[in-house]
Chain A
């Protein structure tokens, strides 16, 4: 049986999660290995949260935040800062930084939503499981 990559979508209630509702209402299709969790604002997650997710075997993370429409003061900027600080830490552990992606999705951004999920899925199918990648990094492959 083919093992599908696991995509975690952390989607803001005011943006990405509402966007996922719109995609659902359209009955559009996207891969079923994309698991979506609602978040208030991803600024609550520090770098270690993302690293922990990859260590547990989440192959890709899409942060669907609200971008400039973020209802919280400074929330979008802080999220972007944390994500930027996470990339070098991922590289240190041998994790391809493309596995983490921050993207602004609005309540009716159905096309961008589908595009992002499909692109991440294609990428992960190409680069393989994160656990393999991290194991290779450890043995210096």
Chain B
């Protein structure tokens, strides 16, 4: 490495608007750090990431000739990149910046120990300064990138992202686990806030996506393998057979011949379908699929088929194929909360259904009257927040021990939308709406509440620790009617009994179970199980894994409008990343000091990456040689080398030793 200039360190302790300074005495940290060797400037600021905070650093670099910058602030995952950019703007190499986490790792976890937190901040930042003294300027690794994106999920978010990416001249492969595109949106009829027909809008997009020359679609396909890095990911896709080849014409006869009947998931079990099926009339692809879970291979479907037999196979033969892509969009979507057995009578009384089922019922039902279980519905109650905003200790935990403490955001407006439709189509039905809070938060959503209020939907407000109870109506004489009992806080806690024929639970939103994908992509879920973006404002829809972005409800509850916005954001990130056909990687890879290396080859033995380190002749001697693009930067070789000749750039052993010494030091000016 190059001859080192004398370090001139600028060190800054961020108040984070009180998030840090309410606990850590930042001025004392600043004063203590001033006494350390090589520290030229030590300051605090209310908000280092603000324009003013960054401008201060830039000005100090220019005025004092600083060549190392250390900032103690939030976790490096939030602002390390921001401040690398700051120092780069001031003309310094961005890798001469070091970030110290003193918020998540200090002020937020030592609230009752201001003195301890202050001393800890001084030590952690002194360690940061110790590392900064040893930093070297680095250059990012520049690699060519495959202009091809993989999208996981064929719902509205995946389709929206596919269209936006493909239009920018980038190849798209979209994989969908189920046999048909469209996801949950296909199961909706009219959607808020515009009242447009869901499948109409969806199919406009499906037609555009499937007709685009840059897009390849694989249904019944899942990600099963992943390696490589941004710009050059190798994905392995496993596709299940469809059973029926494209071009088959005798679809109706084929389905009719199937003797099996299973609950139709498209209608949430309200109807049955065959074991050869299409999702709905007009679905994409139009070719039916064999339901391998339920098909018993009886062969009845093949009867009376003559010429086209060769187009059908009742054996599922999954096949794997590989794909090289530059980026991945995770659009794996959501599932609806399944109420526990007996929760508000669900699974116990047939008259308790979910909002999703009601929406299908309204689509299937005639125009005259609403009929459930052969009986006309005269009284109907909605219950909000089922599986949302749950409280530990009040709500029954799910099988994995978790409660959904978040708001699912879409259910309030969707419930009121359904209530208004009911009122319009079946004006005689009495509608009760049991809620904790109404959150019609979006543009054009409040109108649904106003309309429902105007149209005699009776609102009853319960408290979260006094949930409504659903019991059989003792006066109904076995006709199946139920009683919803709740304390209504709109009438100052009056106990209300509402006799109803149907209870509709507005169930919340949960991410699809995608543990395999999480493992393969190495993305992180939050404690609510939804996937995490790096920062909601600074790096929206980006995950911490370079080249892997999020689209739609995999990231949290969103309505269709928001899913589309997130998907377009994801597409823009992919387009920026792959548009130039090359990417930059962090230069944190192994680096050999040829003067120390005597070619033992220990590093090559221990390295698990192909062609990352080899032994080669350098000026007549055998030396280890690193190919940066193939090095993962784990550092296994560092501990293997008997001569300390190999190190990790940006995270070197000597830097760790220096940090450790600062933490262990007894001579730090930590006490006031």
> In the bound complex, do residue A57 and residue B109 qualify as a contact, i.e. CB atoms below 8 Å apart?
no
> In the bound complex, do residue B664 and residue A43 qualify as a contact, i.e. CB atoms below 8 Å apart?
no
Q: Mark A15-36, 1 if CB is under 8 A from B, else 0.
A: 0011011111101111111011
Closest partner residue, chain B, to A30 (CB atom): B109
Which residues of B in the span 104-146 have a Cβ within 8 Å of any Cβ on A? 104-106, 108-113, 116-117, 119-120, 123-124, 127
- Bound complex: CA A46 to CA B119 (Å): 29
Most chain A CB neighbours (cut-off 10 Å) among B113, B608, B638, B664: B664
Residues of A within 8 A of B527 (CB): 22, 108, 110
> In the bound complex, do residue B109 and residue A46 qualify as a contact, i.e. CB atoms below 8 Å apart?
no
Which residues of A in the span 13-66 have a Cβ within 8 Å of any Cβ on B? 13-14, 17-18, 20-25, 27-33, 35-41, 43-46, 49, 52-53, 56-58
Residues of B within 8 A of A82 (CB): 639
Residues of A within 8 A of B101 (CB): 20-21, 36, 38
> In the bound complex, do residue B638 and residue A44 qualify as a contact, i.e. CB atoms below 8 Å apart?
yes
> In the bound complex, do residue B636 and residue A35 qualify as a contact, i.e. CB atoms below 8 Å apart?
no
Task: Determine which of B111, B127, B657 lies in contact with A29 in the assembled complex, contact meaning CB atoms within 8 Å.
Answer: B111
Q: How far is the CB of B116 from chain A (nearest CB, A)?
A: 3
**A8 adjacent to chain B (CB < 8 Å):** yes
Q: Chain B interface: which of A70-78, A96-104, A132-140? A: A70-78
Q: How far is the CB of A55 from chain B (nearest CB, A)?
A: 9
Chain A interface size, as a band, is 35 or more
- Bound complex: CA A29 to CA B638 (Å): 35
Residues of A within 8 A of B313 (CB): none
Task: Determine which of B106, B113, B636 lies in contact with A78 in the assembled complex, contact meaning CB atoms within 8 Å.
Answer: B636
Closest partner residue, chain A, to B76 (CB atom): A38
Q: How far is the CB of A130 from chain B (nearest CB, A)?
A: 10
A-B contact count (CB 8 A): 142
Residues of B within 8 A of A57 (CB): 664, 666
> In the bound complex, do residue A29 and residue B110 qualify as a contact, i.e. CB atoms below 8 Å apart?
yes
> In the bound complex, do residue B635 and residue A44 qualify as a contact, i.e. CB atoms below 8 Å apart?
yes
Closest partner residue, chain A, to B108 (CB atom): A24
- Bound complex: CA A75 to CA B110 (Å): 32
- Bound complex: CA A71 to CA B517 (Å): 14
Task: Determine which of A20, A31, A58, A107 lies in contact with B660 in the assembled complex, contact meaning CB atoms within 8 Å.
Answer: A58
> In the bound complex, do residue A35 and residue B632 qualify as a contact, i.e. CB atoms below 8 Å apart?
no
Q: How far is the CB of B430 from chain A (nearest CB, A)?
A: 45
Q: Chain A interface: which of B254-262, B288-296, B648-656? A: B648-656
CB contact under 8 A between A40 and B651, given known A32-B117, A73-B608: yes
> In the bound complex, do residue A49 and residue B657 qualify as a contact, i.e. CB atoms below 8 Å apart?
yes
Residues of A within 8 A of B202 (CB): none
- Bound complex: CA A31 to CA B109 (Å): 8
- Bound complex: CA A128 to CA B513 (Å): 46
Q: How far is the CB of A56 from chain B (nearest CB, A)?
A: 4
Closest partner residue, chain A, to B80 (CB atom): A38
> In the bound complex, do residue B77 and residue A44 qualify as a contact, i.e. CB atoms below 8 Å apart?
no
> In the bound complex, do residue B77 and residue A21 qualify as a contact, i.e. CB atoms below 8 Å apart?
yes
Q: How far is the CB of B251 from chain A (nearest CB, A)?
A: 45
Q: How far is the CB of B118 from chain A (nearest CB, A)?
A: 9
**B372 adjacent to chain A (CB < 8 Å):** no
**A69 adjacent to chain B (CB < 8 Å):** yes
> In the bound complex, do residue A29 and residue B109 qualify as a contact, i.e. CB atoms below 8 Å apart?
yes
> In the bound complex, do residue B664 and residue A6 qualify as a contact, i.e. CB atoms below 8 Å apart?
yes
- Bound complex: CA A27 to CA B532 (Å): 18
Which residues of B in the span 595-612 have a Cβ within 8 Å of any Cβ on A? 606, 608-609
Q: How far is the CB of B3 from chain A (nearest CB, A)?
A: 25
> In the bound complex, do residue B108 and residue A27 qualify as a contact, i.e. CB atoms below 8 Å apart?
yes
- Bound complex: CA A56 to CA B108 (Å): 28
> In the bound complex, do residue B116 and residue A24 qualify as a contact, i.e. CB atoms below 8 Å apart?
no
Closest partner residue, chain A, to B638 (CB atom): A44
> In the bound complex, do residue A40 and residue B633 qualify as a contact, i.e. CB atoms below 8 Å apart?
yes
Residues of B within 8 A of A75 (CB): 608, 634, 636
**B103 adjacent to chain A (CB < 8 Å):** yes
> In the bound complex, do residue B639 and residue A32 qualify as a contact, i.e. CB atoms below 8 Å apart?
no
Q: How far is the CB of B93 from chain A (nearest CB, A)?
A: 20
Closest partner residue, chain A, to B633 (CB atom): A40
Q: How far is the CB of B111 from chain A (nearest CB, A)?
A: 7
Task: Determine which of A27, A46, A58, A107 lies in contact with B639 in the assembled complex, contact meaning CB atoms within 8 Å.
Answer: A46
Which residues of B in the span 638-672 have a Cβ within 8 Å of any Cβ on A? 638-640, 648, 651, 653, 656-657, 659-661, 663-664, 666
Closest partner residue, chain A, to B642 (CB atom): A46
> In the bound complex, do residue B608 and residue A72 qualify as a contact, i.e. CB atoms below 8 Å apart?
yes
Q: Mark B582-598, 1 if CB is under 8 A from A, else 0.
A: 00000010000000000
**B287 adjacent to chain A (CB < 8 Å):** no
Show 20 A/B contacts (Cβ-Cβ < 8 Å), sorted by A. A18-B77, A20-B105, A21-B105, A23-B109, A28-B109, A33-B116, A35-B120, A36-B101, A37-B656, A38-B76, A40-B635, A44-B636, A44-B651, A46-B640, A49-B657, A56-B661, A72-B636, A74-B608, A107-B532, A108-B526
A-B complex: 6 closest residue pairs judged by Cβ atoms: A24-B104, A44-B635, A32-B116, A73-B608, A72-B634, A46-B639
Given pairs A20-B104, A25-B108, A53-B660, 20 additional interface contacts (CB within 8 A): A6-B664, A13-B77, A14-B522, A14-B544, A18-B77, A22-B527, A24-B103, A24-B109, A31-B116, A32-B106, A32-B110, A35-B124, A38-B76, A44-B638, A44-B653, A49-B639, A58-B663, A73-B634, A75-B608, A108-B527
